[in-house]
């Protein structure tokens, strides 16, 4: 067999392989993708359509659909709160580092979702943008947060020990003798501390939720949250599933 004949057969084999891929293997192999992005990300067997449940509001309490914020990009949602002492800042810093390492970061919108609207409303965007100028902040009314949590399988609740302590403190204040020293009584025009001044922690989901441009939930990014593996997993998911 001559050298030119060998080259001819090599080219023919490449053409046949390409044809087989496009006609029979064009769809992404989900099992292979699952393996390649684990453990940084866990793919759902099928994308979950939950866009009708995502009723968010912005800093001005204006109804803000996720579609307005995502703007046809993939969306990575992180649930937390601005006064979180450690976990939230660390997680958002890691998401920022991952986005810096990504090749497809221009196709991803990171959204910080506050689970503590009473204290965070008005400071959502400022908090999110402190980690990356492209990050955006949203929250929801308390009843909507419950619906969103159920739809997405996430959770949040005030730490019970602190909640109990607050209730005990409140009951103690109200049980003071009416004849106690006036210096312990509230001045007539004085208002009780607002919820924004309250001190408590909130337990919340540590996973990051990834939505495709159609706002279908496609994956969870679970512990351990390491920037490099996260960046690689996000790039792979966007590249492979973005071909559909």
Check the annotation: does 225 bind a ligand. Answer: no
Check the annotation: does 84 bind a ligand. Answer: yes
Check the annotation: does 174 bind a ligand. Answer: no
3-class DSSP string for the chain: CCHHHHHHHHHHHHHHHHHHHHHHCCCCCHHHHHHHHCCCEEEEEEEEECHHHCEEECCCCCEEEHHHHHCCCEEEEEEECCCCCCHHHHHHHHHHHHHHHCCCHHHEEEEEEECCHHHHCCCHHHHHHCCCCCCEEEECCHHHHHHHHHHHCCCEEECHHHHHHHHHHHHHHHCCCCCCCHHHCCCCCCCCCCHHHCCCCEEECCCEEEECCCCEEEEEECCCCCHHHHHHHHHHHHHHHCCC
Residue ranges at the known binding site for Cu cation? 84, 88, 172
Residue ranges at the known binding site? 84, 88, 172
């Amino acid at each position: 067999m001559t050298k030119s004949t060998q080259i001819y057969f090599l080219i023919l084999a490449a053409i046949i392989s390409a044809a087989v891929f496009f006609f029979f293997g064009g769809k992404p192999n989900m099992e292979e993708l699952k393996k390649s992005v684990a453990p940084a990300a866990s793919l759902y067997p099928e994308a979950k359509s939950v866009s009708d449940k995502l009723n968010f509001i912005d800093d001005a309490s204006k109804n803000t659909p996720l579609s307005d914020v995502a703007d046809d990009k993939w969306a990575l949602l992180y649930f937390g709160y601005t006064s979180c002492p450690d976990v939230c800042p660390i997680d958002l810093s890691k998401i920022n580092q991952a986005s810096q390492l990504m090749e497809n970061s221009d196709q991803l919108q990171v959204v910080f979702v506050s689970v503590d609207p009473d204290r965070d409303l008005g400071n959502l965007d400022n908090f999110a943008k402190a980690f990356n100028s492209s990050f955006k902040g949203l929250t929801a009314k308390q009843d909507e947060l419950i619906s969103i949590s159920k739809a997405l399988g996430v959770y949040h609740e005030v730490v019970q020990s602190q909640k109990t302590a607050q209730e005990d403190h409140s009951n103690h204040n109200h049980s003071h003798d009416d004849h106690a020293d006036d210096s312990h009584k509230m001045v007539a025009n004085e208002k009780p501390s607002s919820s924004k001044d309250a001190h408590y922690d909130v337990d919340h989901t540590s996973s990051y939720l990834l939505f495709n441009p159609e706002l279908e939930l496609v994956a969870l990014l679970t512990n351990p949250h390491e920037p490099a593996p996260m960046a690689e997993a996000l790039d792979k998911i966007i590249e492979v599933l973005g071909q559909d």
